[in-house]
Structure 1
């Protein structure tokens, strides 16, 4: 690929949406609606095609159906999360809490049950994209003012956060996290020993106009403990404050 082509590839006039959906009716509805809303949309029907499109199409956001002909949507979500930090919204016929928890635990940023309102989908897409482009948008002014003064790398207790690269390193090892997990950990890290309610964490991760509940926050915290703590059942970093929420312990 020439340098000119690379530069042109890097310029995105429209937000790119990759839709992995094998149902032709739902797939076409998504293409029509999102195209009218000024998104650039590519739809594929299988996990294999989705992996190719993730690299070739270079999307800004992914809509992932859980029922695919050649792979488990949950496993595919987990695979994609290892490859990219873009927002992933799962769409599924299965409304059960168990499936929602599995999807979020695998790296999804949001979950919609079919049939759903296209307007609601658009709102949720805008919310996760807004959070990705401006993580401080829904935080209290006191938090924003402190965060605006924080640049580079935060370090303590063998744990470091690179704010520019959005990475976490523990004892020299890079820790893979979802977008939501990183946002929660960054908030903890910048305000050690402060107790955050679940509602505050919800607002920090999503924004007050996007769907997420207390249970989803608990799942994210559980995943962070699994990745960061030597013994997740007896956490040293992220402590539960019963009846209130969570706090990060600074030594």
Structure 2
């Protein structure tokens, strides 16, 4: 079954090239040249992943990202010529699942899109697989987490991070393993991704994010979910 990708980019030549290459590789593609039409297309087209350029003519890509995250968990891969580390951190902090810097190779982009789609797909875990961590209930089958019975919305990548820790409850999961299993085998040095997502999860899951009781950092080593 082919997957659907929405490309939001205002460079006509690049958008055409991306669409051609993606379709040849079996993707169903929709394109949008600005933020407003991109948001409308996201609602109408129902993509499995969004490829979002930050430099749009009407809305900044970060605003488009914020608006998407108000109503959808669809994986978003940011595409940008901005190479500063703070831009990457900001995009990840706003809910992006990955960040690809121009120039890029199509093979790398395809791999990152496939990884993003995998993170957004439904889990095949047994229906009874749940993990209890304090007042948090992590339902591995339905890909849901609730706190005292109230569901907490997570992005696909936030869920992937939490799910991996939940499956290794009480055990340290090294940085490299988290990056490989959540983001894909091409990742190994993007430790800042982990810091950003750990901070986001703590804001959603912990009583006091500055002094977490459950999502624990082992400096220089990795993370664990402490029951």
Q: Do they superpose with TM above 0.5?
A: yes
Q: Is the 8 A contact 1:75 1:106 kept in 2?
A: no
| Structure 1, 15-24 or 113-122: larger mean CA deviation | 113-122
Deviation at 1:225, TM superposition (A): 0.8
Compared CA separation, residues 178 and 201, structure 1 to 2 (3 A): same
Q: Is the 8 A contact 1:61 1:87 kept in 2?
A: yes
Alignment match, 1:45? 33
Count of residue pairs brought into register by the alignment: 227
- Any idea what SS the aligned residue of 1:84 has? coil
Alignment match, 2:167? 190
Q: Is the 8 A contact 1:110 1:211 kept in 2?
A: no
Q: CA–CA distance in 1 between the matches of 2:197 and 2:12? A: 33
Alignment match, 1:139? none
**Please, what TM-score do these two structures have when normalized by structure 2?**
0.91
Alignment match, 2:179? 202
Provide Cα deviations, 1:50-80, integer angstroms capped at 9, x if missing partner. 1211121111111001111221211221221
Q: Which runs of 5+ in 1 are unaligned?
A: 1-12, 137-147
Deviation at 1:103, TM superposition (A): 0.9
- Any idea what SS the aligned residue of 1:246 has? strand
C-alpha RMSD over aligned residues: 2.1
Indicate the structure (1 or 2) with the bigger Cα radius of gyration: 1
Q: Is the 8 A contact 2:34 2:57 kept in 1?
A: yes
Q: Which runs of 5+ in 2 are unaligned?
A: none
Instruction: Tell whether 2:225 aligns with 1:248.
Output: yes
Q: Which of 113, 138, 152 is 1:175 aligned to? A: 152
**Please, what TM-score do these two structures have when normalized by structure 1?**
0.83
- Any idea what SS the aligned residue of 2:216 has? strand
